[in-house]
Chain A
């Protein structure tokens, strides 16, 4: 007769990983739109990235609301009488609302051709956009009982992923524009490299942790999760683009576009595994 373990469902399902992926691109595109005010080479991407960011924000917002088991109560989170500021989710909700408002004003300024207000609003939008990956990373890192999640590096990793995936989408939007792609190549190269280094650091810490960490490491490096994390996320989505972009051929447009696609596939896979794998061990406790 075997042991009897009561199974538990994971708390957050894969739709949350899709939200992480989308909101990362939103933030990355906002950085590019702001960058266009500082770097002339990115100027052709200013409007494109602002509009794409806003459309994806709407999509991500709807996804987040639909993921609640009581979607119509999403307004509760904005009710000042209910709001609890010790929760990263509460800060995230405030951040998203502020970012949405800033994005609307920024797009209006862009449409009206108001250069003065546009520059200021681009800065505000980019600063609020920085809060999106930071809060999503925080959202995971505050759970002290979860291996991998509970690391202070998580918000930083999410910022690097946002820069990488946003730049990748920017590179695809700027296909044919060699000047913009030259700048975006730099962004992708250094952010993909940073992601790879942080993943090595997280996995090293996890492998040398306690029983739960050890099991989570085993889960993240073997089977389907292993294929997604090590294969797609780490090797194909971080190391390969960093090597390709660093190599002498990395300045050609084809390589930049291939690297962008690899980064997008990798960052989607990483979000999925980083969200789902650390929840698995807990389901059996």
Chain B
């Protein structure tokens, strides 16, 4: 990948992630690496890997769709935040959050079409940041040190690739140029910067069976709410 923002002069960088779903094996190591990097509390995630079982027995497979903040070019969360607690870093395109300014109105959560934002619980064991909205930062602190995001670092199948889209020599530029890519919910006009290769529209759209919630998930959801008093 190219140098991080602020390291050298030149034009603006536009960081992006390419997720090659053909390479994702669903090991959830990205989710674990992200949790470890940020001490993300139970019940919420900066990145997560939902899947759908597709096909007909015996020819079935799991279709994984790794998810995270799309670091949109035109982010509705930034537009809707009344106190500019969330903002776009011009050089790099990171959509970040100012924890000390966030009032917890959840307007950004309502605005995000990707569910990429979540409310931190009121009690955390090791990290004092509580009761504010949090999200994926594209590992801004790592990228500025010329490292790739934690999820990319750990991805065993090299499904996740990160880099500067404005750098013609970067791997993401190559992948986006040479492959048919998809973004999530393009109709929302957010211009996302997480590009998928091989994403199945059955996994990226609302299914008509969305209401068949597994009972165990509902139990988990209510237990989580009780525990964190939300």
Contacts and interface: CB of A to CB of B under 8 A. Distances in A.
B56 interface: no
Interface in B191-229: 205-208, 210-211, 213-214, 217, 220-221, 225
B174 interface: no
A90 B82 CA distance: 5
10 shortest interchain CB distances as A-B pairs: A69-B104, A145-B113, A11-B110, A89-B82, A11-B109, A90-B82, A87-B82, A82-B83, A69-B131, A73-B103
Interface string A11-45: 11000000000000000000000000000000000
A5 B217 contact: yes
B154 interface: no
Contacts of A69: 103-104, 106, 119, 122, 131-132
Contact of B104 (A2, A8, A70, A90): A70
A69 B220 CA distance: 22
Judged by DSSP, the binding face of A is loop
Contacts of A68: 103-105
| Chain B binding surface SS class | loop
Contacts, number: 132
A68 B119 CA distance: 11
A68 to B, nearest CB: 5
A285 B206 contact: yes
B82 A143 contact: no
A247 interface: no
Interface string B103-134: 11111011111110011001000000001100
Interface in B134-176: none
Q: How large is the interface on B (under 10, 10 to 19, 20 to 34, 35 or more residues)?
A: 35 or more
Interface stretch (A49-57, A122-130, A161-169, A207-215): A207-215
Nearest to A218: B211
Contacts of B122: 69
Interface in A231-285: 279, 281-285
Contacts of B103: 68-70, 73-74, 76-77
B230 interface: yes
Interface in A41-100: 67-70, 73-74, 76-77, 79, 82-84, 86-90, 93
26 contacts: A3-B51, A6-B45, A6-B50, A8-B118, A9-B221, A9-B225, A69-B104, A69-B119, A69-B122, A73-B104, A74-B103, A77-B105, A82-B85, A83-B84, A87-B79, A87-B107, A88-B80, A89-B80, A89-B105, A143-B111, A145-B111, A210-B206, A214-B208, A215-B211, A282-B115, A285-B206
B205 A211 contact: yes
Contacts of B53: 1-3
Contacts of A279: 110
Contacts of B48: 6
A86 to B, nearest CB: 5
A84 B113 contact: no
Contacts of A145: 76, 111-113, 185, 188
B204 to A, nearest CB: 9
Interface in B58-95: 67, 76, 79-85
B188 to A, nearest CB: 5
A215 B80 contact: no
B76 A144 contact: yes
B189 interface: yes
From A73, A143, A211, name the one whose CB has the most chain B CB atoms within 10 angstroms. Answer: A73
A143 B210 contact: no
B83 A285 contact: no
Most buried by A among B85, B106, B112, B122: B106
In the complex, which of the residues B82, B106, B113 has the most CB atoms of chain A within 10 Å of its own CB atom? B82
Contacts of A282: 113, 115
A280 to B, nearest CB: 9
B186 to A, nearest CB: 12
Nearest to A223: B211
Contacts of A12: 106, 110
B132 A83 contact: no
A142 interface: yes
A142 B84 CA distance: 17
B101 interface: yes
A146 interface: yes
B205 to A, nearest CB: 6
Given A3-B53, A82-B101, A215-B206, A142 B217 contact: no
B65 to A, nearest CB: 10
Contacts of A284: 206, 210, 213
Contact of A87 (B50, B81, B101, B211): B81
Residue of B83, B189, B207 contacting most chain A CB atoms (<10 Å) = B83
